[in-house]
């Protein structure tokens, strides 16, 4: 049996290392070289496993069964109304009070030819778990390639019709965890549209809006700080960005969703996915009261999350992408973080 504190590390021949723990499949460290070969850990978190277990349980974790928010924790499926846990004001967030980020996953190393190293994480969620219908069996594969790609593949099947939306919640700072904020990072998002939010809790309105002439316009690269400091109602609602972007040309195939680059370190990361959306969150709730890596306080905008996903509240928005998983059918989601 895997223990919550068990640590696993993927390595390739380019000095890239990805470490995670069994609790939540939490990615605790991603070490990558810059153009000069200097190694830095580029995910926000903690120096020790003990701190990770006691600290923010979303850092680097697998979120589910439904990542992001479901308004009032309610949805209808096959004519039946379901009530989920509400753990984000009146809403359901990231799977509920006891989401997948808090579960201890069974972990085993697997030999797959496309990866330098890979691990398979598995979890069974019983029928009624956090209010969700169906027993859901989930397998997540973490694979590291020799092209410096961290590939996350999510597979799941349920014995009843249910809803699903899995994602990974790592926060990135390409200068290195604990080194300044991500305000100077250049961000490009392959999205002409986004889903506006309503109120400080960040629930989507249902609108699909153009990014043009808004702070959400990252069609061409710009400093994240330019948006964070913009006089924009959407930014002011959450003191930053906590928005879902509608990936251009979505057709279920893996495509470029976003690119993040640090002018200071020269490191860059591209995000690819077969999902229709990517949630960008700039960590506005960090307030310096928690101590992170290198003994540094985790401050506002210390890192940015790029969470590939189905849209928030999709079960309640008929014009949003389908989030229903039919009994016996397979959910599949691929996300690639490529370091350059």
* Tokens (6 digits) for 206: 């249902």
CA angle (157, 159, 165) in 5-degree steps: 40
Q: Which of 153, 261, 270, 307 is labelled catalytic? A: 307
| Residue 243 annotated among the catalytic residues of the structure | no
Report how far apart, in Å, the C-alpha atoms of 170 and of each of 57, 85, 183 are.
11, 23, 17
Beta bridge partners of 124: 137
Within 8 A by CB and 6+ apart from 103, the residues are: 23, 24, 123, 125
Kindly tell me the burial class for residue 319, based on how many C-beta atoms sit within 10 Å of its own C-beta (0-12, 13-18, 19 or more).
Answer: exposed
| Residue 319 annotated among the catalytic residues of the structure | no
The distance of Cα 113 from the centroid of its chain, to the nearest Å, equals 26
Distance CA 297, CA 215 (A): 28
Selection from 262, 267, 302 nearest residue 286 by Cα: 302
Q: Which of 169, 185, 243, 333 is labelled catalytic? A: 169
- The residues assigned a catalytic role are 169, 307
């Amino acid at each position: 049996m895997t223990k919550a504190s068990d640590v696993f590390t993927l390595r390739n021949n380019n000095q890239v290392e990805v470490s995670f723990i069994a609790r939540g499949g939490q990615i605790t460290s991603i070490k990558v070289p810059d153009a000069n070969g200097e190694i830095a850990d580029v995910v926000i978190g903690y120096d020790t496993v003990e701190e990770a277990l006691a600290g923010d349980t979303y850092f680097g974790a697998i979120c589910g069964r439904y990542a992001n928010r479901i308004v009032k924790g309610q949805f209808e499926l096959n004519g039946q109304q379901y009530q989920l846990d509400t753990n984000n004001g009146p809403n359901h967030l990231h799977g509920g009070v006891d989401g997948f980020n808090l579960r201890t996953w069974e972990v085993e190393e697997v030999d797959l030819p496309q990866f330098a190293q890979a691990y398979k994480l598995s979890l069974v969620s019983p029928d009624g778990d956090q209010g969700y219908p169906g027993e859901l069996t989930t397998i997540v594969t973490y694979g590291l390639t020799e092209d410096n790609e961290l590939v996350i593949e999510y597979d799941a099947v349920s014995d009843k019709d249910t809803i699903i939306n899995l994602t990974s919640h790592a926060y990135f700072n390409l200068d290195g965890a604990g080194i300044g904020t991500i305000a100077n990072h250049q961000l490009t998002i392959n999205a002409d549209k986004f889903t506006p939010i309503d109120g400080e809790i960040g629930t989507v309105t249902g609108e699909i809006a153009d990014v043009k002439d808004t702070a959400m316009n990252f069609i061409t690269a710009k400093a994240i700080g330019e948006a964070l400091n913009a006089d924009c109602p959407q930014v002011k609602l959450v003191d930053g960005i906590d928005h879902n972007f509608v990936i251009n040309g979505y057709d279920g195939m893996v495509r470029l969703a976003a690119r993040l680059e640090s002018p200071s370190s020269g490191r860059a990361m591209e995000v690819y996915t077969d999902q229709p959306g990517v949630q960008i969150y700039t960590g506005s709730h960090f307030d310096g009261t928690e101590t992170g890596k290198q003994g540094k306080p985790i401050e506002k905008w210390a890192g940015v999350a790029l969470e590939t996903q189905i849209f928030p509240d999709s079960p309640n928005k008929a014009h949003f992408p389908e989030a229903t998983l039919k009994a016996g059918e397979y959910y599949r989601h691929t996300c690639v973080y490529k370091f350059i």
